[in-house]
Amino acid sequence: MNKWLISLAVLLLVLDAGAQVTPSAAFTEDFNDSTLHNFNYASRGVKDDFKWKVGAPSSAEAGTKVLLFKIDPRDSAGAGRGPEIISNRYTHFGSYSARIKVPDVRKVQPNTGAVVGYFTYSEDSLLGLSEIDIECLVADPHILYIGTWTGPKGKLQRIGRTIDLSRGTILSTIAKIGYTGKPTPLTGEQNLPETVPVIPDFDASARFYTYGFDWYPDRLRWWMIHPVTGEKIVLWDYSGSPIGIPQPKSQYRVNFWYTDNWGVEGNPKSVERPMEAYPLEVDWMKYTPF
User: Mean per-residue pLDDT for 27-36?
Assistant: 95
- pLDDT of 179 reads 86
- pLDDT of 272 reads 98
**pLDDT tops 90 at residue 244:** yes
- pLDDT of 21 reads 60
pTM: 0.91
**Domain chopping of the chain, boundaries:** 27-289
CA distances from 238 to 8, 119, 244 (A): 35, 17, 9
Q: Which residues pair with 52 in a beta bridge?
A: 69
Q: Mind listing the pLDDT tens digit for each residue in 56-103?
A: 999 999 999 999 999 999 999 999 899 999 999 999 999 999 999 999
Pick the CATH number of 27-289 from 3.50.30.50, 2.60.120.200, 2.60.40.1120, 3.40.50.2000: 2.60.120.200
Q: Mind listing the pLDDT tens digit for each residue in 130-178?
A: 999 999 999 999 999 999 999 998 889 999 999 999 999 999 999 999 8
pLDDT band at 13 (very low <50, low <70, confident <90, very high): very low
Percent of the chain with pLDDT over 70: 93
pLDDT band at 44 (very low <50, low <70, confident <90, very high): confident
- Mean pLDDT of all residues in the chain? 91
**pLDDT tops 60 at residue 15:** no
